[in-house]
Chains A and B, each alone.
Chain A
């Protein structure tokens, strides 16, 4: 939409307002005397989406009914990682029951099979509970979390190397056979 702020309903007398400088209570200019919350536009520097399919121009299909388009348009730059990189041009019609991001709203596409790991992804593969458990354990202290980041984030040079660290065999077993 590109607007600087929006009026939103509800929220009045919630403690959320005391902790959110981007939510202000103003007098409704069209109904003086009525307080209304105005929300500052959220303008992320980057939005990242993981797609089922994307083409080389940036058209992308993400699973399910989602608000990805709204989020992509809010962000200054949009990165799409994708399970499958297709030749030719994807259109809205290819999305079917899924969501479509048009190339005009996408800046960068990267091919990353199993790129949602350790989350599951649509109907393609399941969540990696084993990895999640390790992550939750690691997140308990700064020291163990640093070790986690070193192994899975800073210590790998590519998505391929990440998958090796994350046990590729177990990860590939999460893929659903449909």
Chain B
């Protein structure tokens, strides 16, 4: 399984996420988040069997009697260990933008907005940002609109915040002391130069920088069988288009 064409970018990201989940964590996955959903189900199958996994809109992974308020209140109580967020833009200081591109009053793109993300980013113990594109339009010096702030003053109550940003090209680690991203791993098929060239701010490189390990046969097999089956009802299009059928090549 050494050929990087033998899996999709989404599969690579799901596998990358699966390796970051820690056993016994309470893990939440929000709406419109098929890549983290796949990663967390894969983690539970292969690496972290004791996690409590909550996936919104997925019956098998929904332990609450009421709606998504339950996940938000769980996080507000400080009981959510890991959550996943995405952003149209993510900046050097860990801010993400789910609101507008351009000026707020006459935007070029108006998005759906924050939902609970501006609370979850502070109250989940670790947040992994995920984005299926790694470009200078996504990773910007400063977001057009701060939906959630990566860095806040000492007196702001915060259980946690950004931990990693996972893309098809890289894994960025959050340096809490500095309040900036550090290039921790580049994905198979990419390179330090390629990541830097596609990031819209100067990115420091970890002294322990390495190439991320390719998805293993076991990871891909599990993803394409058990994980596919468990996700099929909630994410039929994602499963059909982004997770390969065993043996098929792109």
Contacts and interface: CB of A to CB of B under 8 A. Distances in A.
Given A14-B118, A14-B147, A15-B145, A9 B66 contact: no
B147 A15 contact: yes
Interface in A5-48: 8-16, 19, 33-36
B123 A35 contact: no
B106 interface: no
Nearest to B117: A10
Mostly helix, strand, loop or mixed at chain B's interface? loop
User: Which size class do A's interface residues fall under?
Assistant: 20 to 34
A10 B64 contact: no
Interface stretch (B1-9, B12-20, B149-157, B224-232): B149-157
Interface string A57-84: 0000000111111100000000000000
Contacts of A34: 155, 157
Nearest to A70: B69
B67 interface: yes
A67 B68 CA distance: 7
A99 B104 CA distance: 37
B66 A67 contact: yes
B34 to A, nearest CB: 18
Give 5 nearest A-B pairs by CB, closest first. A10-B119, A67-B67, A10-B122, A13-B149, A66-B67
Interface of A: 8-16, 19, 33-36, 64-70, 97, 99
